[in-house]
Amino acid sequence: MSFLESLRVSFRSIKANGLRSVLTMLGIIIGVAAVIAMVAIGEGTSASVANQINGLGSNLLIVSPGQATQGRVSLGAGSLNTLTLADAEKIAESEAVSGVAPSVNGRAQIVFGSNNYSTMLEGTTESFPDVRNVQVADGRFFSNFEVRKQMNVAVVGTEVVNNLFTGSSPIGQTIQINRIPFSIIGVLKSQGSSGMTNNDDRILIPVTTAMSRLTGGKNVGTIYVSAASANDMEKAQQDTRNALRSQHSLRPNEADDFRITSQSDILSTAQEVSSSMTTLLSGIAAISLIVGGIGVMNIMLVSVTERTREIGIRKAIGAKKRDIMRQFLIEAVTLSLIGGVVGILLGIGAALGVSKLGGMATAITISPILYAFLTSTIVGVVFGVYPARKAAQLKPIDALRYE
Amino acid sequence: MRPVIQMEDLKKRYQIGDQEIQALRGVSLSIETGDFVAIMGPSGSGKSSMMNVIGCLDKPTSGEFYLDGYPVSQAHDDELAEIRNQKIGFVFQNFNLLPRTTAVENVELPLLYAGTPAKERRERAIQALLDVGLGERLNNKPNELSGGQQQRVSIARALVNDPVILLADEPTGALDTKTSVEIMGIFQQLNNAGKTVILVTHEPDIAEYAKRIVRFRDGQIVSNEIVEERRRVLLEEVIT
Ligand SMILES: Nc1ncnc2c1ncn2[C@@H]1O[C@H](COP(=O)(O)OP(=O)(O)O)[C@@H](O)[C@H]1O
Ligand SMILES: [Mg+2]
């Protein structure tokens, strides 16, 4: 019997045993769908994390205050108030550094007319847009002059605009920040949220104004430094460290009282985390695929037993061992393949659903699809061979006598 | 005329656990082309064992067996499958049709394994069903057919490859008298057309439609005689 005929016989028998065929495929469908969806979620998460980190700015260094220790217990990063505006100016002297943006943070209560809104307040300098890769959509950012003169100007995020102003342009309006009037000069371009923080829900004012009128004190929370180019990252980091050590008059045997984190550090840490997550997820999914394969074998074995008489009839009228072998093997592979295709579609659907409804980032790539396709074929062959051999070895007379 | 079946001292033993059953204890028989033989005997006397060996479904434990001049005793599994496919048409007591498969597809099966092209397969299957008077039931599945109709389908399947010999193990065992007579009519017609027919039955009046009766007891042939007053089914009876 030709291969094409074997194929037709197998297809007919799959169709004739509809419900059982579907049940056989179910394991594979679930396994493949799980692989596709899990990998899509894993890849999507890692891509969106990388995106967020790149969105922080280009060639960014983040300087944070050092950790205070009480006895031998660290109180955590940022627990010391060691950074100042003077530090920022000193760092800016390096030629490897293209911009420096010191920053203070806090929450603020904002009032416009009868509307009341609480949001993140960040005080910074005119370098902020370049250093942090932020654009102004409407109006302008504050200038060096406005920073030096501690002026009451503010640039707001779109979420703030949506909450305080209904339709009308906020540019030129005066709002109260903690009861102090500020005039709005610009609106930030929407960035969307990254993880837990919504980047559009914030308000930026000159760092000098923030320190003198809102947060108090002479220290800044963070200094963002951008290197002139990717090649300058190392030198910028070294220069920043030297500048701060001399600013803080640290002796050679004293430890740094600040910490410098580079963007690539964050990126590689995040990528390690998300790639181990992807591996874990696909591992779990792969196990479910194997379970699906065992399901195929299980039902094929039942099917061989149940169809012993059919095998007997086929042999009695001239089917050879290889005809029977081929029929059952093709059936197993076809079931696995159909299961694989349905699983792929279902997995893609699940991934899309998760990103639509759950707001989770997913990335559907071709490699897990090929991998799932290949695996389900292999599963079909591997778990189909044993039942098919069992069917082929049956003696016609025993198969016919089987009740 | 050359014998289509020739066997010498054929023995068949079955082993169930440590118990040994002698189903055939040295059978020698020769059947000419064109003969119509009824095999009779009590239950357990070895009739089916004999048919299974003739039909190449089972190998004898010892002895010689030539089918159409071919030494079957030495053939291995795939050769036997080919002989079953090319030279033998088998009709079973319980029909043994594939369930959920139409009449015409059931009849096509032997041609499928013979490698006949699809179009010719379909034509020959339809012709075989017409020959047994089932032209209007081509696309019915076995569960939509009466016992007699199912047996006709299985006869059509046995004939479709134009075998040298037609074997039927109690073909009327599951049928009522009227239907049995119809089925015997078909066998007689086929035999008249030159086909060698061997059938097993334990009903004496069914056996009398044959040309010769071979009787078995305890795995041995006890008599082999020509039927003197042969019954004939009237042609009109068959067509209706
Ligand atoms: N496949 C088999 N395995 C074991 N014993 C069998 C098998 N086929 C037949 N027998 C035994 O062989 C003897 C002859 O059986 P069989 O040829 O079926 O007789 P009949 O068809 O005349 O009733 C019986 O005792 C039966 O139980
Ligand atoms: Mg019997």
pLDDT tens string A163-176: 888 777 889 999 99
Chain B positions touching A325 (Cβ under 8 A) are none
Nearest atom, ligand 1, residue B216 CA = 22
- Which of the residue ranges A81-85, A217-221, B7-11, B230-234 would you say has the lowest mean pLDDT? B230-234
Q: What whole-number distance in Å separates Cα of residue A135 and Cα of residue A120?
A: 18
List the single best residue of B112, B121, B160 to mutate versus A (max A Cβ within 10 A): B112
The one-character DSSP state at B46 is S
Q: Among candidates B37, B64, B48, which has minimal Cα distance to B224?
A: B37
Q: What is the pLDDT of residue B222?
A: 96
Q: What whole-number distance in Å separates Cα of residue A169 and Cα of residue A236?
A: 40
B194 Cβ under 8 Å from any chain A Cβ: no
Query: What CATH number should be reported for the domain holding residue B87?
Result: 3.40.50.300
Nearest atom, ligand 1, residue B24 CA = 14
- Angle, helices B103-114/A308-316, rounded to nearest 10 degrees: 60
Q: Which domain holds residue B93?
A: 3-239
| Model pTM score | 0.70
pLDDT tens string A123-166: 999 999 988 888 899 899 999 999 999 999 999 998 888 888 87
> Does this complex have an ipTM over 0.90?
yes
CB A244 within 8 A of CB A63: yes
- Angle, helices B147-159/B118-131, rounded to nearest 10 degrees: 130
Domain borders along chain A are 3-52+271-401, 83-256
Q: How confident is the model at residue A21 (pLDDT cuts 50, 70, 90)?
A: confident
- Which of the residue ranges A81-95, A184-198, A366-380, B126-140 would you say has the lowest mean pLDDT? A184-198
Backbone angles phi, psi at B190, to 5 degrees: -60, -40
Facing A1 at nearest CB: one of B84, B97, B115: B115
Which amino acid would we find at residue A62? Answer: I
Q: What whole-number distance in Å separates Cα of residue B105 and Cα of residue B126?
A: 10
Tell me how many domains chain B contains: 1
Rg, C-alpha atoms of chain A:
33
